[in-house]
Amino acid sequence: MSVQTACMTDQTKIALVTGASRGLGAALAEALAPQYHIVAVARTTGGLEELDDRIQAKGGTATLAPMDITDPDAMATLCRGIHDRWGKVDLWVHTAIHSSALTPAHFVDPKEWTKAFSTNATATSVLIPYVAPLLGEEGHAVFFDDPRAGEKFYGIYGATKAAQISLARSWAAETERTGPRVSIVEPAAMPTAVRARFHPGEDREALTSPADAAAEVLAKL
């Protein structure tokens, strides 16, 4: 992890944002930065550095973690580093997603299926046990639904995203009385790279900007 110099105390609130380099993840990281020190995780180093510049320009601080969430060893290292430095996570926002190209079910590419399942479902199953102890009873985890299961041509994305959200819903039910709090939010349609892959040629001006969508999400929470 690339640790940015910052004036932090034991009372500093920590927000872990997985999938923070662009889209909703980046917008949420920026929106949270005034109240939280951001631990920003993504594979794209350049995107993380640009995010850090924007956060610092607004007086916030961030720790950049250019890591692949599908690498269990990397995620173990990440969470151990957070534990050793701060001992906690107050808020975990999980926006990382792999958007598979739309395809008929009888043309599913096994490699694409494996990649989507690894990112959208398996990585979540690895991260929850790692992050849960950091959240404790008072922390808050947030997942983002995009219900496409069963829609034509969405076979890979719909199935793997549904698996992620199913796991999150189970965790939410299991921790309802004990904590941490687990929320599942369906954000507004945004002009992101994910949506562009699904809806080429769409009028992107009619969609909600990631910044506005982030504000709506935080208002709901």
CATH number for 21: 3.40.50.720
Look-up: residue for tokens 């992101």?
A: 192
Domain region containing 55: 2-220
In total, how many domains does the chain have? 1
Task: Give pLDDT tens digits for 89-110.
Answer: 999 999 999 998 899 999 999 9
pLDDT bucket at 192, cuts 50 / 70 / 90: confident
Secondary structure (3-state) at 215: helix
Q: Give the Cα separation of 130 and 19 in Å (integer).
A: 16
Here the tokens at position 67 are: 């890591």
Q: Is residue 114 within a helix (H) or strand (E), and if so which, with residue range? A: helix 110-117
Per the CB < 8 A criterion, the answer to whether 24 and 187 are in contact is: yes
Buried b (16+ CB within 10 A) or exposed e, 175-194: beeeebbbeeeebeebbbeb
Residue 24 is predicted with a pLDDT of: 96
CA-based nearest residue to 47, from 29, 26, 16, 68? 26
Look-up: residue for tokens 């995010």?
A: 51
What percent of the chain stands above pLDDT 70? Answer: 95
